[in-house]
Structure 1
Amino acid sequence: MKILHLLATLDPRAGGPTEGVRQSGINMTALGHEVEVATVDDPSAAWLAAFPLPVHALGPAKGFYGFTPKLVPWLEAHATSFDAVIVNGLWQYPGYATWKALRRLNVPYYVFPHGMLDPWFKRTYPLKHVKKWLYWPWAEYRVLRDATRVLFTTQEECRLARESFSLYHANEAVVAFGTNRPPSDAASLREAFYNAHPALRDQRLILFLGRIHPKKGCDLLLQAFAAARELEPAARLVMAGPDGDTWVPTLKALADELGIASRITWTGMLQGDEKWGAFYASDAFVLPSHQENFGIAVAEALACGLPALISDKVNIWREVQADGAGFVAPDSVAGTLANLTRWMQLDAIQAAAMRTQALHCFEQHFTVDAMSADLLRILQQDRHKPRNEEGTLALGRS
């Protein structure tokens, strides 16, 4: 098959959707399929050269919405050469442009919301939700309504998506999501991390890796770590990731106030060997997020045999809990403290068993091979179904 992914940016700092497209694209290419990407990035953006798939950069886009006049004409001219078009994310111009260009072409398009319909956003940002309501009926509602399928990565995401807007109509499907297996040379990767951060050698590291953003519950983590610090004097908290909301200065001030600044290392964004070295050097991975559709970093941690201490707002928490691959608790200071406490109180045999279960959980649920196979199953299944005049499936919608 020949597949086109659309997303606003390929900047690695954008997180999960960009990484998901990269990894699934590489995997599908290895299986003999053709995968290309269209983005509204500026063609001169530094990160494009390193992206491993063919890229059509149709920016520079204007503002957060990502409008560019080039996108619709490009899709009208080129979309028919693809078997499927996949939109990654909502609330930006690439989705609406895809609907506008493809609704009368016999080209199936799919939408991955990537958690952007979670009602947490409605509760947390009510004014933004009002603005979205003004946009929803004439744009995003139609994008989802007319998509061949709207693809969710967990049953939980699919269920929650129905709660954000009363006007909601989509042909839903749940597909596996995952990530590549990590590099296997754990010893050399640990050294790469220790060489960059020598003060962390021989410490018991609790790793947070992701955007430093209020959604991720970083403030809860600092408060819980402060409360648990006496349980394990050797424990150090590693905060790894880009500052997604200019929040780091506030968090550093909170760490000073809590008296734990000397036990926290802020690494900034980690990539390549240093990122994998952080996973292999750590004792546990922690993510007390208020909303997390999937959490590629959680899957990467599990793939390195790293137990996950996560909130029950990370949508893969059921798999982690069922497989004994970590601990799960509410997204609160008390819940995060409970996870840290339970981990620190494990003996060596129990901790080793949980590391084994972490790897088992990854292999059972979250490999990129399973992700590619499931997505291809959906795409190939839909190729043979009848379509109506607008190019969408002629079957009834859910």
Structure 2
Amino acid sequence: MKILHVVHSLVPGEYRGGISKVAHELAAAQARAGHLVEVLTTTMNSRVPTDIAAGTVTPVDGVTIRYFHAAGSRGARGYSPTLRQHLLEVASGFDALHGHNPLTPLSRYLAEAARRSGPPLFTHLHGALNPYGQQSWYRYFRRLAYVRCIEAAAMRANQGLFCLSEHESREAVKLLGFDNTRIIPNGTSLAGKPIQADGQRFRERYQLGDAPVLLFMGRIFSIKGVHLLAEAFVQLAAERPDLRLVLVGSREQFPDYVAQVDAILAPWSHRVTWTGFLNDQQKFDALSAATVFCHPSESEGMAMAVLEAMAAGAPCLLGKGCFMKDAATAGAILECEFAAESIRRQAHRLLHDDSLRQHLARRGPEHIAAHHSWDAIAQQTISAYGGASVSNMQASSRAA
């Protein structure tokens, strides 16, 4: 089968955000299964321009990646006329199209290509319909109007939508009126594999010594609950004079919010480490160094940082908005509410209970290996593509 993925950004090993990593690792798993896989992407890495030249074609992990110019300020949202033109020219030569950026120009390019050329189109929602941003009636109806008036037409060109959870599937039905959904979780390339990581190297680099470490990894943004983690840390730090907080993520994307977090942490800033952006190996080292990985997000699709932390054996404290209920039921993670006191209470429990941390460190990797292997997930997507292709052929035969 020939499969074409389209994603806004993809710089292997330098992922800024989980979507690009999902697209790459899923495509690589499909290639390992014997399929011919290509990816079309732009010269942006999230909102950061890269030095990759437009027109570059790079084979990585059995996948051909083609780069296209991202036009002007709108390029940060996936606006690329050259990518659109290439997609329209080549789409008919593929058996399936797979999008990763709903509610962007790329989604509309794919819908146009599917309607013109006929290959079945599938889109990963990646949390795009999550509850965040719908916390007031004004925001809710504004988003509902935009999605139904502007984006619903593009979504209707899809043979199916890939959802990360039952909740996301329900949101797709409610917002889009689209009920042909499949629940397909994210995976991680770390599932069931030994991880090459050096926690001591990370501790030495950031002068952490042998102190217990609370680790956060992700976008420094209000939806992630970093301000609540900061409030919880201030209370915990008063109890534990050796406790350190490590925040992995860019300080530049949301400077006003970072200033808010800095103000909360000011009394204990000497025990807080900001690392900035880390590449994959550095992230694995950070996870190996963590005493507790804390991701108290209000709403997620299925964060790659969470899956990787579990796979790495880091004891995980996750917000219920991460939608990892199955992992919590299996005893592979500990959950907290989106509130500073809940985070403090659960983090205190983990920091003082060696046996609980050891239990999570064992169950986390087991759960990831059983439920989040990319090879198994790739087969689910191939099955979906194949079913759509058969349906299309039957429809064409009836029309003839």
Give the TM-score normalised by the residue count of structure 2: 0.87
Cα distance between partner residues in 2 of 1:86 and 1:193? 37
Verify the 8 A CA contact 1:40 1:61 in the aligned structure 2. Answer: no
Report the 3-state secondary structure (helix = DSSP H, G, I; strand = E; otherwise coil) of the residue aligned with 1:136.
helix
Q: How far off its partner does 1:23 sit? A: 1.2
Cα distance between partner residues in 2 of 1:169 and 1:326? 32
Q: How far off its partner does 1:320 sit? A: 2.2
Aligned twin of 2:332: 325
Aligned twin of 1:7: 7
Equivalent of residue 17 in structure 1, options 2, 5, 19: 19
Question: 1:149 aligned to 2:155?
Answer: no
Q: How far off its partner does 1:133 sit? A: 4.8
Correspondence list, 1:30-49, <5 A: 30-41=32-43, 45-46=50-51
Aligned twin of 2:254: 245
The farther-off stretch of 227-236 and 21-30 is 227-236
Aligned twin of 1:26: 28
Cα distance between partner residues in 1 of 2:166 and 2:312? 25
Aligned twin of 1:87: 99
Verify the 8 A CA contact 1:154 1:176 in the aligned structure 2. Answer: yes
Per the alignment, do residues 185 and 68 of structure 1 end up closer, same or farther by CA in structure 2, a change over 3 Å counting? closer
Aligned twin of 2:265: 255
Correspondence list, 1:149-168, <5 A: 149-163=160-174, 165=175, 168=177
Cα distance between partner residues in 1 of 2:132 and 2:201? 38
What code does the residue aligned with 1:333 have?
A
Q: How far off its partner does 1:32 sit? A: 1.8
Report the 3-state secondary structure (helix = DSSP H, G, I; strand = E; otherwise coil) of the residue aligned with 2:6.
strand
Verify the 8 A CA contact 1:319 1:361 in the aligned structure 2. Answer: no
Aligned twin of 1:358: 364
Equivalent of residue 113 in structure 2, options 90, 94, 101: 101
What code does the residue aligned with 1:341 have?
H
Q: How far off its partner does 1:342 sit? A: 1.9
Correspondence list, 1:363-374, <5 A: 363-374=369-380
Q: How far off its partner does 1:162 sit? A: 3.7
Cα distance between partner residues in 1 of 2:94 and 2:40? 12
Correspondence list, 1:285-300, <5 A: 285-300=293-308
Report the 3-state secondary structure (helix = DSSP H, G, I; strand = E; otherwise coil) of the residue aligned with 1:60.
coil
Q: How far off its partner does 1:255 sit? A: 0.7
Verify the 8 A CA contact 2:7 2:100 in the aligned structure 1. Answer: yes
Aligned twin of 2:125: 113
Q: Between Structure 1 and Structure 2, how many residues are aligned?
A: 383
Verify the 8 A CA contact 2:132 2:223 in the aligned structure 1. Answer: no
The farther-off stretch of 91-100 and 231-240 is 231-240
Question: 1:136 aligned to 2:150?
Answer: no
Q: How far off its partner does 1:107 sit? A: 0.5
What code does the residue aligned with 2:36 have?
E
Cα distance between partner residues in 2 of 1:175 and 1:122? 24
Verify the 8 A CA contact 1:4 1:37 in the aligned structure 2. Answer: yes
Question: 1:194 aligned to 2:206?
Answer: no
Verify the 8 A CA contact 2:316 2:360 in the aligned structure 1. Answer: no
Q: How far off its partner does 1:149 sit? A: 0.3
Gapped regions of structure 1 (runs ≥ 5): none
RMSD: 2.7
For residues 351-384 of structure 1, what are the alpha-carbon distances to aligned partners after superposition, in whole Å with 9 as ceiling and x for unaligned? 2122111111211222222221222222223222
Verify the 8 A CA contact 2:114 2:157 in the aligned structure 1. Answer: no
Verify the 8 A CA contact 2:296 2:338 in the aligned structure 1. Answer: yes
Aligned twin of 1:174: 183
Report the 3-state secondary structure (helix = DSSP H, G, I; strand = E; otherwise coil) of the residue aligned with 1:260.
helix
Cα distance between partner residues in 2 of 1:110 and 1:281? 39
What code does the residue aligned with 1:283 have?
T
Report the 3-state secondary structure (helix = DSSP H, G, I; strand = E; otherwise coil) of the residue aligned with 2:345.
helix
Q: How far off its partner does 1:314 sit? A: 0.5
Per the alignment, do residues 170 and 6 of structure 1 end up closer, same or farther by CA in structure 2, a change over 3 Å counting? farther
Verify the 8 A CA contact 1:3 1:86 in the aligned structure 2. Answer: yes
Verify the 8 A CA contact 2:156 2:178 in the aligned structure 1. Answer: yes
Cα distance between partner residues in 2 of 1:129 and 1:218? 27
For residues 204-234 of structure 1, what are the alpha-carbon distances to aligned partners after superposition, in whole Å with 9 as ceiling and x for unaligned? 1111011111111100000011122244333
Verify the 8 A CA contact 1:309 1:326 in the aligned structure 2. Answer: yes
Per the alignment, do residues 358 and 92 of structure 1 end up closer, same or farther by CA in structure 2, a change over 3 Å counting? same
Gapped regions of structure 2 (runs ≥ 5): none
Report the 3-state secondary structure (helix = DSSP H, G, I; strand = E; otherwise coil) of the residue aligned with 2:133.
helix
Per the alignment, do residues 355 and 42 of structure 1 end up closer, same or farther by CA in structure 2, a change over 3 Å counting? closer
For residues 320-355 of structure 1, what are the alpha-carbon distances to aligned partners after superposition, in whole Å with 9 as ceiling and x for unaligned? 211212211211112212221221231x33321221
Question: 1:184 aligned to 2:184?
Answer: no
For residues 41-61 of structure 1, what are the alpha-carbon distances to aligned partners after superposition, in whole Å with 9 as ceiling and x for unaligned? 369833687883422223222
Aligned twin of 2:70: 60
